[in-house]
Each structure stands twice: as structure tokens, then as C-alpha cells.
Amino acid sequence: QKEVEQDPGPLSVPEGAIVSLNCTYSNSAFQYFMWYRQYSRKGPELLMYTYSSGNKEDGRFTAQVDKSSKYISLFIRDSQPSDSATYLCAMSDYSSASKIIFGSGTRLSIRP
Amino acid sequence: EADIYQTPRYLVIGTGKKITLECSQTMGHDKMYWYQQDPGMELHLIHYSYGVNSTEKGDLSSESTVSRIRTEHFPLTLESARPSHTSQYLCASSEARGAYNEQFFGPGTRLTVL
């Protein structure tokens, strides 16, 4: 069983829709939770970072962590065509924070 | 401008050739990493380094080797390329202070071994 599970999609939604991306994980030691965005032919770039449980908002993006359910989410409001990319969840534990475990990514397409 | 660079961006090579994938960063970071990414799959850590003369193998077994002679440079070498090495290779770097540090990724090298 993978430590991090992510629905690969692809997910296609119309412009302006609210997008929900999710990951589940099995390692209860994970403390750091990240969402990376990867455009085609580019490296991943950090979008959101959360420590432990709770919500974090940054503009149109909201990251949620529910450690009791081992479930994390990324919400995108008022989605734009420029949000079309692959979104990777990632996480690590305190003892090896440099070693990040990545999900397989969800491919998102926003239709104009 | 501080950045992380990878060359070549694309490489097509025959079986048995020796190749070196270059990675350089001008961000002043001590930690550097190499990941392997296949389409629709997770990034897998294959090598990392905490500083000059420090190299460690990652979680995914790899036949590649790395060196860290200069802080800004972290090349990856395959002595004898095989079709099973066909993949995208991503280099990343991060600071070394604190429990968590953001990893910054290069654009990747897409390797195809015929």
C-alpha cells in the first residue's frame, strides 16, 4: 500500500468552478503537508504548505488538513484556465522533514 | 536571479552510453536532491546531499551515482544507460536550517534510452 494516495484524474471543470483535490495517507507521523503545482514540461513549484492540522488560505487557494482522518484537501475557488496543471500532494514527518513523500498527482484542466 | 538549472532538458541516447545530468543552483542552498518521475507516478527520491562531500541514497534504488564537490553543483551520472532508465529526472534544492524547508525544483531532464 502506498503511503500517500491521490486520485490521478484527469479532472476537467468549467472556468469559475470550485475545484476540490484530495489525498489520503497512512503514516500518522506526517506533520508537514504540501501542495505542489506542476505545469507541463516544468518542475513542481510549492503552492501551499501547512504544518499539522487546520486550514490555510492564500487568495483563491485553501488547504485543509484533517489528521484524525489522514486526509488533506486543496480547494481552488473561481478556477481559471491558468490553473490547468498537475497538482501533487506531498508530506513529511518531523524526523526527516527533508524527505518528502509525494502523491502521484491529479491532472486538472479548466475549460474556458 | 536565484534559480536552479538542469541540462540537458531532453536527452535521447543509446543503450550502454555513459551520461551525466547536470544540476546547478544559485540559491545558496546546502541541501540538494534528485528525484525520478514517471508519467502519472509519484516523484521518487533517488539521491540527496546535505552539503559538500555528503551524498546519500534515497528511497528508490537507482543505478545512478552523484557527487557534490561544490555547493552549487550536484551532477547525476549513469555509467551505462539502459531502456529502464528512461524517465524524467528532477533536481531540487533547499535550505538546511529548521525542521522543514521548501524544496525548489529545476525544470527537469527528460531522458530516453533506446
Assess whether pLDDT exceeds 70 at residue B90.
yes
Q: Which residues of B touch A49 (CB under 8 A)?
A: 100, 102
pLDDT, mean of residues B81-101: 88
Contact B57, B47 (CB under 8 A): yes
Q: How far is Cα A110 from Cα A105, in angstroms, rounded to an integer?
A: 16
CB of B86 within 8 Å of a chain A CB? The answer is no
Pairing of strands B31-37, B19-25: unpaired
CA B95/CA A73 separation, integer angstroms: 26
The per-residue pLDDT for A37 is 97
**Which pLDDT does position A97 carry in this prediction?**
54
**What mean pLDDT value characterizes chain B?**
92
**Minimal C-alpha gap between A72 and chain B (Å):** 17
Measured between alpha carbons, how far is B98 from B100 in angstroms, rounded to an integer?
6
A82 contacts: CB under 8 Å, gap ≥ 6:
A110
CB-based contact (8 Å) between B94 and chain A?
yes
Q: Are residues A103 and B92, on separate chains, in Cβ contact within 8 Å?
A: no
**Which B positions 38-77 lie with beta carbon below 8 A of chain A?**
40-43, 45, 48, 58-59
Residue A98 has pLDDT above 70, yes or no: no
Does B21 contact A at CB distance below 8 Å? no
Nearest CA in chain A to B32: A98
Average pLDDT over residues A68-82: 96
pLDDT-derived band at A70 (thresholds 50, 70, 90) equals very high
A32 closest CB neighbour out of B45, B100, B106: B100
